[in-house]
Amino acid sequence: MTTEPDYPTIPLENYHEYPIEEMRERLRSFYEDMSRRRTVREFSDRPVPRDIIETALMVANTAPSGANLQPWHFVVVSGAETKKKIREAAEVEEREFYEHRAPEEWLAALAPLGTDSDKPFLETAPYLIAVFLQKFGYLDDGRKVKHYYPTESTGLATGMLITALHQAGLATLTHTPSPMKFLNEILGRPTSERPFLLLVVGYPAEDARVPDIKRKTLDSLRTSAVIVLAVGGIAVSGFAAELLPDPLAAGWEGEAVCERLHEDEDTRVLRCTFPPGVGHERHFHAPHFGYVIVGGRMQITDAEGMRTVDLADDLSWHSDGIEWHEVLNVGDSTATYLIVEPR
């Protein structure tokens, strides 16, 4: 007999268990269907019934979220004038990216995908769905509540939305111009919400073509972590550290603190910026080199405890990897440093 918890619960009535062979068949069929999913950049202007989009949003809303706070908001855009405004604003940011901000290596990586600063699909496709991340919300009694893991939660909901739209027979494109704050202004969303991505939705054009690319094999995308019984407890392989976010995925109160400056098959370069009072939530580090552009006073918490260190300008270091740590800027100036990760 289970003990009744001291919070409201209901019976688990809608769970379905399937025989093993049916499990395999259902997964095989689902995989075959999902393996046909492709990102499309050439859309038809054929209309799509609104209820199809709304049902897909209901699927997205079944996603798990930190403390079940559901930190997402979706704005469905179908009006021609609004789509035109979004395209114009997005192309301004995209031209800046392609002409000034993007390093040559990044442009070379994008070349096989055929991307550029021209985004006609933002007007052609019948729907744009702007996905917003809510850093905080309000309870029914009006109290303000912080949202936990809003980036991860919104990412899960967006993945389920893309899957639902594919199941309905629609094509999608994830569009992420940077920065995307123009979406708050055009769509009338509060500054407490951060644009997560812009999802383009519709039927592919009849003559649509997609890049000739390959997906990872099973052997290359997974590692089987071996749990080894040891005297006094259980030891788990170092793979377990990767359950934490890496420095790029980790942020602070729902906001990113690191940006990718460069990435290729040999190296990834991140720039991390910490204004006073801003930190870096718990994360792991692969082997890397570090370089301090602008120093500051940082509070570091790891397996050895908590300590405060003063990082000087032009300081550099090498690390063989860090299982986990947390960082907080406790000084009065903004600290900035680079992380260079050899592959």
Q: Is 314 left (phi over 0), alpha (psi -120 to 50) or beta?
A: left
By C-alpha distance, which of 90, 116, 112 is closest to 102?
116
Kindly report whether the global pTM for this prediction surpasses the value 0.75: no
What CA–CA distance (Å, rounded) separates 330 from 274? 10
Q: What is the pLDDT along the chain (343 residues), one digit of tens a residue?
A: 566 777 889 999 999 999 999 999 999 999 999 999 999 999 999 999 999 999 999 999 999 999 999 999 999 999 999 999 999 999 998 888 777 777 777 777 777 777 777 899 999 999 999 999 999 988 888 889 999 899 999 999 999 999 999 999 999 999 988 789 999 999 999 988 999 999 999 999 999 999 888 888 887 877 654 444 343 333 333 444 446 888 999 999 888 999 999 988 888 999 999 999 999 999 999 899 999 999 999 999 988 888 999 999 999 999 988 888 999 999 999 999 999 998 7
State the fold for domain 245-342.
Answer: Jelly Rolls (2.60.120)
Place of tokens 């170092």: 238
Between 3.30.2130.10, 3.40.109.10, 3.40.50.920, 3.10.180.10, what CATH number should domain 37-202 receive? 3.40.109.10
User: What residue ranges do the domains of the chain occupy?
Assistant: 37-202, 245-342
Cβ within 8 Å of residue 140, ≥6 positions away: none
